[in-house]
């Protein structure tokens, strides 16, 4: 398991990109992607050392990000890269609450992601290293 990125929720993805570029010198490394499965638009930014920040904005009023933003939360999640998503979820099942089942993420080329809520009251995203073969 390796730290991959932190996720920041925003109501305005374009403004958030500008702020992160100006404040922290980050550069945009992907296009803004609309992901109807997760009901979000997302973009990946990076610093010169390859530390990633994902900016996520709701596509719909019923997006999970809409609810997060309504609660005043911007720092949304920490993401870990994992070899086997199913095995990782099986290992942590007794220690964390699984928020979402594994599903492909458009921003990551269809690699699967899943979210869990930890006993320490924060959200963790797991991103599978490779696309699973059918």
Q: What is the DSSP letter of 71?
A: T
Contacts of 105 (CB under 8 A, 6+ apart): 35, 37, 38, 111, 112, 113, 127
Return d(Cα 131, Cα 12) in angstroms, integer: 30
129: nearest Cα among 116, 111, 114: 111
Neighbours of 130 (CB within 10 A): 10
Q: What is the pLDDT of residues 7-26, one digit of tens each?
A: 999 999 999 999 999 999 99
For a pLDDT cut of 70, what percent of the chain falls above it?
99
Length of the chain in residues, anyone?
Answer: 134
Fold designation for 2-128: 2,3-Dihydroxybiphenyl 1,2-Dioxygenase; domain 1 (3.10.180)
Task: Identify the three-state secondary structure at position 38.
Answer: coil
Residue located via tokens 């999970």: 64
pLDDT in tens, 35-87: 999 999 999 999 988 889 999 999 999 998 998 899 888 998 999 999 999 99
Phi and psi dihedrals of 87, rounded to 5? Answer: -65, -40
């Amino acid at each position: 398991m390796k730290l991959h990125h932190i996720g920041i929720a925003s109501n305005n993805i374009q403004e958030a990109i500008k702020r992160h570029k100006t404040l922290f010198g980050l550069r945009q490394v992907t296009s803004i992607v609309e992901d109807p499965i997760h009901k979000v638009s997302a973009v990946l930014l990076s610093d010169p050392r390859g530390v990633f920040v994902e900016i996520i904005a709701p596509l719909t009023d019923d997006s999970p990000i809409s609810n997060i933003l309504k609660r005043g939360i911007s720092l949304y999640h920490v993401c870990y890269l994992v070899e086997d998503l199913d095995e990782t979820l099986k290992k942590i099942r007794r220690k964390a609450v699984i928020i979402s089942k594994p599903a492909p993420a458009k921003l990551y080329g269809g690699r699967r992601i899943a979210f869990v809520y930890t006993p320490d009251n924060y959200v963790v995203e797991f991103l599978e290293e490779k696309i699973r073969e059918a």
